[in-house]
Amino acid sequence: MRQAPFKDPRVKKLPFEYADITEKLVSAGLRPTRQRLLLGGLLFTDECRHVSAESLHREARAAGVEVSLATIYNTLHQFTDTGLLKEVSIEGGKSYFDTNVSAHHHFLCEESGKLTDIPGEHITLQNLPTPPMGTQISSVDVVIRLRPAN
Ligand SMILES: [Zn+2]
């Protein structure tokens, strides 16, 4: 049975099924609270998404969800800690949260700041340096920066 776990007249119709999101949260070990369900519903759609806390905040408000930016940050970090999202940091401390948690790389459009996925197998990494003593490479994330062609 697919039914919203609560009824909030301020929340407009959202494009997702709560049951799917509940299952996703529970299998990641998170309690399906109202806010996690709402934000999870915005994030976990059929397409891969890259959001910043600010962009998700705007999106939530547009959907009629009143939630503070601090709550958005907390929720994004909880989702990242439990493996539901991957954090992609670009210089200047700018963080994106990626719903594609598989190993992959990105194109970054310098003008718009938009990230686009590059499947992991589309880039061949060779001659990686030996990591410093006592460490091992955990992952390699390639960001290819784009600007308009002349
Ligand atoms: Zn990505």
pLDDT tens per residue across span 16-34 = 567 788 889 999 999 999 8
CA of 93 to the centre of ligand 1 (A): 17
Domain ranges of the chain: 18-91, 102-146
pLDDT in tens, 66-120: 899 999 999 999 999 999 999 998 877 788 999 999 989 999 998 888 899 999 8
Cα(44) to centroid(ligand 1), Å: 13
CA of 104 to the centre of ligand 1 (A): 7
Sheet holding 104-109: strands in order across?
A: 115-119, 104-109, 143-146
The domain 102-146: what is its CATH number? 3.30.1490
- Is there a shared CATH topology between the 18-91 domain and the 102-146 domain? no
Q: Which amino acid is at 44?
A: F
| Contact residues for 39 (Cβ-Cβ < 8 A; gap 6+) | 56, 60, 65, 67, 72, 75, 76
Q: Give the fold, CATH level 3, of 18-91.
A: Arc Repressor Mutant, subunit A (1.10.10)
